[in-house]
């Protein structure tokens, strides 16, 4: 295949990295993502920083200066994980990316899986990095987190009607053209609940969803931002999705 033919089939993916005080991780995450090789796709990065106070923002600015395929959206204050994803989707739509990925910036989501996601999306609209399909799993997670994640996924299937085994993971690759079909303004949940709502609306819009196995590793550096409030918000979201499932 000639160089010209190879270039013409090359697609582009935007990897959205939400950050809130991730100074121990952000530089290494960006470098590791940029080092991933796929014969089909290039990987750009969009850091969505919500007013980190530990130097993450300054590190992110440096990264954009070193590499023109790294971008930064500075939002200035904590606006939540859900709206960070949606802001990333809008950026990908506006800038003509073929795919958009979301992932945590703390190495729980290993960038090495990105090429496999790209392969999987060739016949799908959404690839979910799944801990609960053969080949997937969790490493170093306390029992409390395992139970919480297990219960959340059972409820997501029973109450929310999600058909996926892992509807609460944030490691995903979406086909941008498919996102164009969704009413992104209608996605009202924020934080972790947004992950379930996104699967719900994709499923409802007829997305071809594939689960690709990942081993999820507990964060090694930096502080967790998950709070107990998120658990209550997830119940409220499930209730709202169940009502919508019945009424629409």
- Return the one option of ligand GTP, Mg ion, none that residue 149 interacts with (CB less than 5 to 8 A, by type): none
Q: Does 24 bind ligand GTP (CB under 6 A)?
A: no
Q: Does 19 bind ligand GTP (CB under 6 A)?
A: yes
Rounded Cα–Cα distance for residues 234 and 222 (Å) = 24
- Return the one option of ligand GTP, Mg ion, none that residue 80 interacts with (CB less than 5 to 8 A, by type): ligand GTP
Q: How many CB atoms lie within 10 A of CB 235?
A: 13
Segment 169 to 208, residues that bind ligand GTP, using CB under 6 A: none
Rounded Cα–Cα distance for residues 65 and 79 (Å) = 25
Biggest alpha carbon–alpha carbon distance for the chain: 55
Q: Does 106 bind ligand GTP (CB under 6 A)?
A: yes
Measured from the CB atom, is 129 or 175 closer to Mg ion? 129
CB of 125 to Mg ion, least distance (A): 26
**Three-class DSSP category at 45:** strand
Q: Please give the residue ranges that form the binding site for Mg ion (CB under 5 A).
A: 104, 106, 108, 219
Q: Does 210 bind ligand GTP (CB under 6 A)?
A: no
- Return the one option of ligand GTP, Mg ion, none that residue 225 interacts with (CB less than 5 to 8 A, by type): ligand GTP
* The only residue of 45, 84, 86, 194 in contact with ligand GTP, by rule CB under 6 A: 84
Rounded Cα–Cα distance for residues 131 and 146 (Å) = 11
| Cβ partners under 8 Å of residue 181, min gap 6 | 205
- Return the one option of Mg ion, ligand GTP, none that residue 102 interacts with (CB less than 5 to 8 A, by type): none
- Interacting stretch for ligand GTP, rule CB under 6 A, among 120-128, 160-168, 197-205, 222-230? 222-230
- DSSP track, 109-169: S-GGGHHHHHHHHTT-SEEEEESSSTT-EEES--HHHHHHHHHHHHHHHHTT----S--S-
Q: How far apart are the two ends of the chain, measured CA to CA in Å?
A: 49
- Interacting stretch for ligand GTP, rule CB under 6 A, among 45-53, 92-100, 181-189, 235-243? 45-53
Q: Residue 53 in contact with residue 70, Cβ under 8 Å?
A: no
Q: Residue 82 in contact with residue 190, Cβ under 8 Å?
A: yes
CB of 156 to ligand GTP, least distance (A): 16
Q: Supply 125's token pair.
A: 């609209």
The contact set with ligand GTP (CB under 6 A) reads 18-20, 22, 48-50, 78, 80-81, 84, 104-106, 108, 218-219, 224-226
């Amino acid at each position: 295949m000639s160089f010209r033919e190879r270039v013409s089939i090359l697609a582009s993916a935007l990897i959205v990295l939400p950050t809130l005080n991730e100074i121990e991780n952000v530089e290494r995450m960006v470098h590791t993502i940029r080092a991933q090789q796929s014969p089909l796709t290039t990987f750009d990065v969009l850091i969505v920083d919500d007013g980190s106070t530990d130097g993450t923002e300054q590190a992110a600015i440096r990264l954009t200066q070193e590499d023109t395929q790294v971008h930064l959206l500075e939002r200035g204050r904590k606006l939540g994980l859900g709206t960070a994803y949606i802001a990333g989707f809008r950026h990908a739509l506006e800038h003509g990316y073929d795919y958009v990925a979301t992932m945590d910036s703390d190495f729980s989501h290993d960038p090495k899986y990105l090429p496999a996601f790209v392969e999987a999306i060739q016949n799908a609209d959404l690839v979910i990095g799944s801990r609960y399909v053969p080949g997937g799993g969790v490493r170093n997670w306390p029992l409390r987190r395992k139970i919480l994640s297990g219960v959340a996924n059972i409820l997501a299937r029973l109450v929310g009607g999600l058909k996926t085994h892992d509807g609460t993971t944030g490691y995903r690759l979406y086909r941008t053209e498919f996102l164009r079909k969704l009413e992104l303004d209608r996605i009202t949940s924020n934080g972790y609940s947004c992950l379930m709502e996104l699967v719900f609306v994709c499923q409802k819009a007829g997305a071809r969803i594939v689960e690709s196995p990942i081993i999820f590793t507990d964060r090694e550096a930096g502080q967790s931002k998950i709070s107990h409030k998120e658990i209550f918000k997830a119940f409220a979201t499930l209730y709202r999705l169940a009502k919508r499932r019945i009424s629409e």
